Amino acid sequence: METQEYIDGVLANNRRIVAKTITLIESSLPAHQETAKAIVDALLPQAGKAVRIGITGVPGVGKSTYIESFGLQLVEQGHRVAVLAVDPSSSKSGGSIMGDKTRMEKLSLAQQAFIRPSPSGGTLGGVARRTRETMIVCEAAGFDVIIVETVGVGQSETTVASMVDFFLVLMLAGAGDELQGIKKGVLELADAIAINKADGNNIEHARRAKIEYESALSLLTPSSKIWPPPVLTCSAVTMDGIEDIWQTILDHKEKLEISGELMEKRSKQSLDWMWALVEEGLIDRFYKNPGVEKSLPNIVKSVETGKTGPTIAAHKLLYLHDLCFSESDYKG
């Protein structure tokens, strides 16, 4: 299929071609990546109009169920919602189980929704880069709300926060150790915290947790000058508070647009994106470098057996990389 066919298909919101384009973006083949780059580049002017939301939380907090309720409500209001979920790959077999849609049963049927789970593939940084490009494709296809769901174990949060407008952290009440349960770093990234499962007997716990988080947040320096992150409560089951969170997101967008912070944030994100690509490219070149490739197994072995120290081995590898640097590196 030609690049132009992908571009036209995405712009016409052809579900199958949007899906195929995402596959190209995620592919590890250089030829696919070249095509993907060209497609994303062509689509870039059509993107940027959507509300980009990142959602995270520890496993069991109810992220998928929350997105199901939240997404359905947006669809009912006439929005078009794309959900990009990253699922962890097994480091042993390399395989993965992507079951997000089992918990997003109704949303996955909605005509105005598109849900795409992706395996993390062991490279958390890599997935994040691909998620950025996938976001562009979904926006060009006409989705006006993009939700990025992350694994919620602390590593991918920073990267996801660096590509969305609004970063929502879901928490649980009544778990006892709310404040230790999640790293301080994740709280610092939050544009809002929502205490999920605030229903039934849990409402009182949720209220208490809300006060605790509010006082915890007051100790942190907020990342925005005009937006102190609020703490909300919600229930994906009773739908209580779901609409409030959407209003909070819209409010945040409006305030940051007026103050100019949103523009600032997005241009900083473009820079982050560039640096992420540079870092990834460097690592890629290192492994593809013929000098490194040749000596790597031996050096690895000699570190394993204790013959060479890790510091010296690292120096040696980097030296080999510099030594064998050639024009051909630019092609890979």
Partner 1 sequence: MLIDQRIEQFVKRAGRRPRILVSSMGKKRHDQNTRLLATIFAETGFDVDISPLHQTPRRTARMAIENDVHIICFLSPVNKHNELVTELAKALKAENAENIRIVIGGAIPRSDYKFLYGAGVDLILNSVPADKGEINKLINLFEKYGNGNLYGNSRIH
**Residues at the contact surface with partner 1, assessed by CB under 8 A:** 1, 5, 15-16, 19-20, 22-24, 26-29, 32, 89-90, 93-99, 101-102, 105, 108-109, 114-117, 119, 121
CB of 100 or CB of 165, closer to partner 1? 100
CB of 22 or CB of 128, closer to partner 1? 22
Contact 108, 97 (CB under 8 A): no
CB of 88 or CB of 230, closer to partner 1? 88
SS3 per residue for 52-72: EEEEECCCCCCHHHHHHHHHH
d(CA 216, CA 205): 16
Question: Closest distance between partner 1 and the C-beta of residue 100, in Å?
Answer: 9
Contact 58, 195 (CB under 8 A): no
d(CA 174, CA 176): 5
CB of 91 or CB of 311, closer to partner 1? 91
Question: Closest distance between partner 1 and the C-beta of residue 196, in Å?
Answer: 21
Residue 187 identity = L
Question: Closest distance between partner 1 and the C-beta of residue 269, in Å?
Answer: 26
Question: Closest distance between partner 1 and the C-beta of residue 79, in Å?
Answer: 18
In 3D, which of 121, 63, 117, 111 has the Cα closest to residue 91? 121
CB of 26 or CB of 157, closer to partner 1? 26
In 3D, which of 139, 168, 152 has the Cα closest to residue 244? 168
Contact 281, 332 (CB under 8 A): no
Question: Closest distance between partner 1 and the C-beta of residue 118, in Å?
Answer: 9
d(CA 275, CA 83): 25
